[in-house]
Structure 1
Amino acid sequence: MNRTAKLIMRPLARSDRDAVLNLINADRLPGQPRATAADLTDALKGRSRHDAEWWKALDAPVTVVAVEGGAVVGVVSFAVRRKDDTGLILWLHCREREEVAAALVAYAVDALAGRARLEAFQFASALGLGLEGLPVRHRPATHAALLRAGFRGDDLWSYMRADLPLNIPGVPGVRSKRAGDGWELTLSEGGRQVAEASVSAPEQGIGVLRWLEAHVTGRGFGRAMLGSAAAVLAKQGAREMILYVDDDNPRERSRVAAKGLYRSAGFVEVDRLFSYVR
């Protein structure tokens, strides 16, 4: 039985928004907040505080829903970046039904036909907390649909999370200051900065480690800074901490030591994040 024959594709209507929000949150990953109506509004208008400059370069997104038996069973949003004639699939949700994922991808590819290049899941939307790619373990049907449509998938990020508090302590002497919507932390020794980190303000009890760098290695400064960053987040009410590791190019930048540190502190890899080109 060909279930795709029952699917009707049409532009998203205002009355579809609750159903679309339910689809989005059905795909929510561990360590990610629930998407809100305000988040959906931002995504539909092509706005995001994550990767904001990338979004500003796009034409207004087009969002289409797949309807089956009167119910919204899938949604895809896509747009054009005119400066390089690229069509982009921005986000897609369908409870990982294979036939719906395939239909949504096919519709977007058809609508973007004639562009010099097609891309998918290249940067973070307003619907998540910094997810710059498709989490392929949790989204196998969407991943498969993109590959069948001729896209190449690039494995770019390790997405990791941990419960707070971590099993490593902070250290005295770390300075923290408010910076934008988060905090910057520094650790100095003998008047020299030896480590630094940045964390976001918690959202729905989830804080993000944006970056961490130890300028002196082999002294445990990275571990000390990680413990201190986690303590700052816990003090602000965070119950979870997430981070992203760009481990896609080990020859140029090894992340073996960093991931070893995170694992030793209690972080686990939730998923691999892929981006796509065609």
Structure 2
Amino acid sequence: MATMTVDYEASMMVRPYAPQDRERVLELIAGDRLPGRPAVTAAMLGHALEGCCLGDPAAGGLEGLRTDVAVDGTGEVVGVSCWAVREQDGEGLLLWLHCVEDDQRIAGVLVGHILEQAGRRTVQAFETPTAIGFAGLPVRNRRGSAVALEAAGFSRRDGWSYLHHRLGTLRARPYEVIDITECAAPYGWYVRLWEKDGTPFGKAVVSRPVEGTAVLEWITLAPESDGTGHVLLEQCLAHLADRDVRELVVLLDIPADIPGHSWGPARDLHQRAGFHEIDHLYTYTRRP
């Protein structure tokens, strides 16, 4: 298949991904890794190349799936992107993209190549989770890619606040007040918690830990009026730490236009329990 040379970056070209690119692509992905996320393995990359999503081992609903790499004048792979067309509505999907130091020029080359291939159709970027990451682009840690998307006409949509907690700072619980069972959707643990006297105080769903890291999918705690909800959350986290969960991530909804937004009690609850905001994850849309 023919390669593409970009006019404003004449020394760079885009070509189809090849098996020999695997190790270099894994390096690029590792460079964008956020705290609390497991390292992407060759097997995970293989699933991503097939269009698979997190928690869904089967690909489906995509056509024309392809992965391309950007190569500089020395032959070094400096960027990679994966895109497809959604069968349901014919819209283009930029599934994932990584590049050297998140260089805006490299990201711009890959985005421009995708738009050229997509033609006159709406393109959604980072809209869905993949086998190697969450939906949404981390705009603080990957500013170059965000700028490249916006320069190409993409508009930011609603997203998520990415919060992270290192559970090693929590003290072990002196008594057992937790019950964990397997659940299939999402694939992980269903957690129920009780006080020492048997009174239930919370339920949660946590993704199955990978390399000691997990995602808090949702949690509900007993109503409290004295502002101690974070203490109950800390107890839940401490029991997870007892089960070798070392790092935990949670995603909280945020709007695209942050100024003037009231974060509400959820974010305050998590921060008081020891979570720290790492980034904002946003999806993007470009209409023809």
Q: TM-score, normalised by structure 1?
A: 0.87
**1:218 is matched with which residue?**
225
**2:279 is matched with which residue?**
271
1:184 to 175, 183, 190: 190
Shift of 1:200: 1.9
1:81 to 82, 86, 106: 86
Q: Say if 1:21 and 1:182 are closer, same or farther in 2 by CA, change over 3 A.
A: same
Shift of 1:48: 2.3
- In the TM superposition, what whole-angstrom CA distance separates every residue of 1:251-274 from its partner, at most 9, and x where no partner exists? xx9752111111112111000001
In structure 2, what residue type is equivalent to 1:137?
R
**1:125 is matched with which residue?**
130
- What SS does the aligned partner of 1:257 have? helix
In structure 2, what residue type is equivalent to 1:258?
A
In structure 2, what residue type is equivalent to 1:101?
A
Does 2:114 match 1:97? no
**1:205 is matched with which residue?**
212
**Whole-angstrom CA distance in 2 between matches of 1:264 and 1:39:** 34
- What SS does the aligned partner of 1:102 have? helix
Q: Say if 1:170 and 1:24 are closer, same or farther in 2 by CA, change over 3 A.
A: same
**2:4 is matched with which residue?**
none
1:165 to 168, 171, 185: 168
Q: TM-score, normalised by structure 2?
A: 0.84
Contact 1:164 1:230 in 2 (8 A): yes
**2:3 is matched with which residue?**
none
- What SS does the aligned partner of 1:272 have? strand
Alignment gaps of 5+ in structure 1: none
- What SS does the aligned partner of 1:6 have? strand
**Whole-angstrom CA distance in 2 between matches of 1:53 and 1:225:** 34
Aligned length: 271
**1:147 is matched with which residue?**
150
Q: Say if 1:254 and 1:53 are closer, same or farther in 2 by CA, change over 3 A.
A: farther
- What SS does the aligned partner of 2:28 have? helix
Q: Percent identity, please.
A: 38
1:63 to 60, 67, 70: 67
1:25 to 30, 33, 40: 30
Contact 1:78 1:88 in 2 (8 A): yes
Contact 1:207 1:238 in 2 (8 A): yes
Does 2:202 match 1:195? yes
- In the TM superposition, what whole-angstrom CA distance separates every residue of 1:203-245 from its partner, at most 9, and x where no partner exists? 1121211111235242667435422432332123222111111
**Whole-angstrom CA distance in 2 between matches of 1:59 and 1:53:** 17
- What SS does the aligned partner of 1:5 have? strand
Alignment gaps of 5+ in structure 2: 1-6
